[in-house]
Every structure is written in C-alpha cells, then in structure tokens.
Structure 1
C-alpha cells in the first residue's frame, strides 16, 4: 500500500521552526498496529492520520474527515499542532475547496478554518484548579530543582500539571532552564499526570514583540521529553491566563528550542480559537 505523506512545521511560518508533524492521507483503512508503526518510523512528536468518513468522500471537496494522532509510543486524545498541520496539507497541498474543515476525533468535533494569515483551530477550553504543592512536590523538584514557583494548577480533563514560575524570572530564564524529564514517569505512576506545563507571565508593556505568556511543555509519559509547540497545552494555558490577566485575546509564545507562537481568542461558547501558521517542508509517498 502506498500512502501520501507530508511533514508540516506548525505554529510558525518558517521552515524548521514550530512543531513538525507528519500527516498521512488514508484512502483505505489501516490496522491499529500500522498506525503506531508509521508513527514510530516518522519519530516526530505526532503523526496525524486523516481518513474519509464515507466511501464517496474525497480529500479535495469533502469538509468532514476522521483524524487520529499518534506519538512514537501511543495514541493521544488531543493534538493541536498535528491538527493545524493536517488542515494546512488539505488546504494548501490537496487544494480542498472548503473554508472550514471539521475533524471527528477522540476529543469530539474540532474545526479548522482558513484565515488571511494562518489557520484558526476551534478547540475545547479546559479549566485548571489549584493543586496542593505537597502532592506534587517530588515531581516538581525532580523536574526543575529549586526554581521558584508562583502557582500550581491541575487540569483533570487533560491530566496536565500547570506550574507557573515566579514573575521575577525572564523569558530567557525559561528558555535556558534545564528540565530533567527522565525520572518523571517513575515518580508519577498513578496516571494522574500525563504532561507538565511550565509557564511564565509575558514581558512588560512596550516591549516588542508583545506576548501575554510563555510556556514549555514536557510529556515523557507518552514518549515526548519536550514538545516544541503544543496546542493541547494551550487549551489549559488559555483558560488559566485569561483568568489571571482578565483578557480574552492573547498572544502566546512557546519557548522551546524551535519556538512557536499562537494567537489566542476565547469564544463566547466556552471554547478557544488558536491561530497559527504552518510551513510544509516535505511531501512524498510512504510504502507500507
């Protein structure tokens, strides 16, 4: 079987920045094992699989598709950057004629729509709640040592732990902070935590470019020591920072080595729009 496959760098307009995702177009069904084997072969933080929902569908004219995401070690319930990459492939390479695409996923229906300067993802917004420090002290100390922590919250919907660093730190501190992810799955084995978000308030007014908050994201529990730019983490970060800053419109920057930016807009229906660019850097054929 030969499958069309692409790699797109998401949440950036520049090749080799943002977060790379592989995107596979499925004309026929794949075995469960084949999904995971392909994701392992691609060895990116996520490989997305787009499938037709009806035999009569086609990738150019249909507006609804099935979508699944796999890390090299497991399937995940939600992935922002690979959804953005999937929409970019359909819009820009397959020349899909629709202005909005709907994806049926493990996290319900997700929409991606064209914008003048990128693609807007319509995603769930997940609240986070105060987390007792002593319950997660071992995990945090192992990850970031004696780094000063200002707030700790937990998102039960996504199983992500949000750790806000002290406002006394700068963006460069977060960018260069050495985070030890190796021992984390051994420390947190209950399944409660599947991802660690480190976040920091944005730089003061007047500095350029202006970002409302910064973050980094780590998920060694699903085989990702650090994820470069993470849409699913921003479903939690958007909720948290909107409350902290009293804002519905925000710009965010994820401070990984590759780096990526998102425009955030909280919707009246309790969801969040996340806008980003994508650069398609590879297209080819996968032989299975």
Structure 2
C-alpha cells in the first residue's frame, strides 16, 4: 500500500526554519501501532495523521516515541497541506482531536494561518530542586500545566544560555519543560525541552504557547503578543489570549512531497 506524505516547516516562511512536521491524510484510520512506526521512521518531532469525517477532519499526532494530546506545529502543517494540496476552499478547517476536542485553523492574510486551541491553565508551584538541577538555572517562578512545567526567567540572555541535563530531564514526570523570559525584539521568548517524548529540544512548540500566552497576558497586560522560540531553527508566532481559548498564528513552508510504502 502506498500513502502520500508531506513534510512542512511550520512557524516559518522558509524551508529549514521553524519546526518540521510530517503529514499523512488518510482515507481511514490505520492501526495505532502502524502510525507510531511511521512516526518513528520519520524521526521528526511530530507526524500528523488526519481522516475526513464529513466537514471535520479527525486529527492525531505522534512523536517518534508516543502519541501526544496536542501539537500546534503539526496542526498548522496539516492545514497547510489541506489548503494547498487537497483543494480545501473554505477559509477555515475544522479539526477534532480525540484527546483535545475541537480545533480550527483559519487562513488569514499574507500566508498566515491561525490556530484556535484551548487554553492550558497553569498553576504556580514551589521551585522544584530536581527540575532546577535538570535545567541548570533556578527560575524566578515555576508553573505546572496539564502536561508541562514552565519556568520563568528575568532575561532572554538567561534562556539563551541554558544547557539542560537531558538525562535528568528525562526522569521528570511531564511531557516537557518550557523556559521563558521577556523578549528583546518580541513580547516574550521561549525554549522547550522534551526528551521524554524523544525530542531533546523542540524547534517551535505551538502547544506550549497555550501555557505561555495566559501567563504573559497577565504580566504584560496585552491580549495580543508577538513571540519567538529560540531554537537553532527558530520560529515566529503571534499569540492572542481569549480566556478559555488561545489563537496562535504562524506561516508554513513546504519541504517534501512523496509516498511511503506501508
């Protein structure tokens, strides 16, 4: 059996930037173990699989090691594929995730697309010695969301200089760790580490911004903010806080189209 596959760089306007995701638009769901094997073979941060059900696309995401609850960049990449290769003529694509509910992506101006995701409520916690040791730098504040820890620092330079101990990070009970600070050229910056999911440092993490946006909304008093993720590839986002929902906007660039043998 042959299956079309696409690789798209998300949250960037050029190939080799942003976060690469593989996308497979399926006629019907494959066995979960097979989808996990495809994601492992792709060896990208995420591989997205979608199946059209009426006017909605069911959507699932896999890292090389596990299925995840929510993935922003692979959702953006899937929308790009549907808009550009599957003749989706409507302005908005409706997705449904069995793990995260209803999601939408809207095509806006000048190549931008906007994700509509649920907000991730975060709770302040005491600084965690194991977490601090794993990251290598004690934050000014620590929070816990649904799946991630978030550590806040005072400057972009501090975040840029972080070199985490991935072995220690891998022992933590979480999906990953967000580190963040005010930005020099944008409202806030971040990095994201998730060795538990087979991703030492994620290039751009849309889902992490469902935790970041409500925090920086409270700090900055702005509902719409610019953001940058400071990985080697880098990524640019516009985030808007809407209470129980977050809008996350970005661009995408195609890299590869092909077929895989299943």
- Shorter chain as normaliser: what TM range? over 0.9
What is the rounded CA distance, in whole Å, between the counterparts of 1:82 and 1:252 in structure 2?
Answer: 18
Instruction: Please state how far the C-alpha of 1:73 moved relative to its aligned partner.
Output: 0.5
What is the rounded CA distance, in whole Å, between the counterparts of 2:167 and 2:13 in structure 1?
Answer: 31
Q: Give yes or no for the alignment of 1:102 onto 2:102.
A: no
Gaps of 5+ in 2: none
What is the rounded CA distance, in whole Å, between the counterparts of 1:92 and 1:173 in structure 2?
Answer: 40
Secondary structure, in 3 states, of the residue corresponding to 1:6? strand
Instruction: Please state how far the C-alpha of 1:174 moved relative to its aligned partner.
Output: 2.4
Secondary structure, in 3 states, of the residue corresponding to 1:231? coil
Equivalent residue number for residue 285 of structure 1: 259
Count matched residues: 260
What is the rounded CA distance, in whole Å, between the counterparts of 1:173 and 1:284 in structure 2?
Answer: 41
Residues 1:129 and 1:99: Cα distance change in structure 2 (over 3 Å): same
* Counterpart selection for 1:181 from 158, 166, 169: 166
TM-score of the superposed pair, with normalisation by structure 1 = 0.87
* Counterpart selection for 2:56 from 57, 60, 64: 64
Gaps of 5+ in 1: 55-62, 204-209
Greater Rg over alpha carbons, structure: 1
Instruction: Please state how far the C-alpha of 1:172 moved relative to its aligned partner.
Output: 4.4
* Counterpart selection for 2:194 from 219, 230, 249: 219
* Counterpart selection for 2:121 from 124, 127, 146: 127
Instruction: Please state how far the C-alpha of 1:29 moved relative to its aligned partner.
Output: 2.8
Per-residue Cα deviation, 1:183-223 (whole angstroms, up to 9, x for no partner): 2222x2xx3x22100001122xxxxxx30000000111221
Contact between 2:132 and 2:139, CA under 8 Å: does it hold in 1?
no
**For 1:238-249, what aligned pairs fall within 5 Å after superposition?**
238-249=213-224
Instruction: Please state how far the C-alpha of 1:181 moved relative to its aligned partner.
Output: 1.6
Equivalent residue number for residue 90 of structure 1: 82
**For 1:1-288, what aligned pairs fall within 5 Å after superposition?**
1-54=1-54, 63-105=55-97, 106-117=99-110, 118-133=112-127, 136-144=128-136, 147-155=137-145, 158-165=146-153, 167=154, 169=155, 171-186=156-171, 188=172, 191=173, 193-203=174-184, 210-267=185-242, 270-288=244-262
Aligned-residue CA RMSD (Å): 1.3
Per-residue Cα deviation, 1:235-263 (whole angstroms, up to 9, x for no partner): 00001110111110100000001000100
What is the rounded CA distance, in whole Å, between the counterparts of 1:233 and 1:74 in structure 2?
Answer: 17
What is the rounded CA distance, in whole Å, between the counterparts of 1:175 and 1:259 in structure 2?
Answer: 12
Contact between 1:11 and 1:19, CA under 8 Å: does it hold in 2?
yes
Secondary structure, in 3 states, of the residue corresponding to 1:232? coil
Contact between 2:56 and 2:93, CA under 8 Å: does it hold in 1?
yes
What is the rounded CA distance, in whole Å, between the counterparts of 2:31 and 2:134 in structure 1?
Answer: 39
Equivalent residue number for residue 206 of structure 1: none
What is the rounded CA distance, in whole Å, between the counterparts of 1:280 and 1:42 in structure 2?
Answer: 16
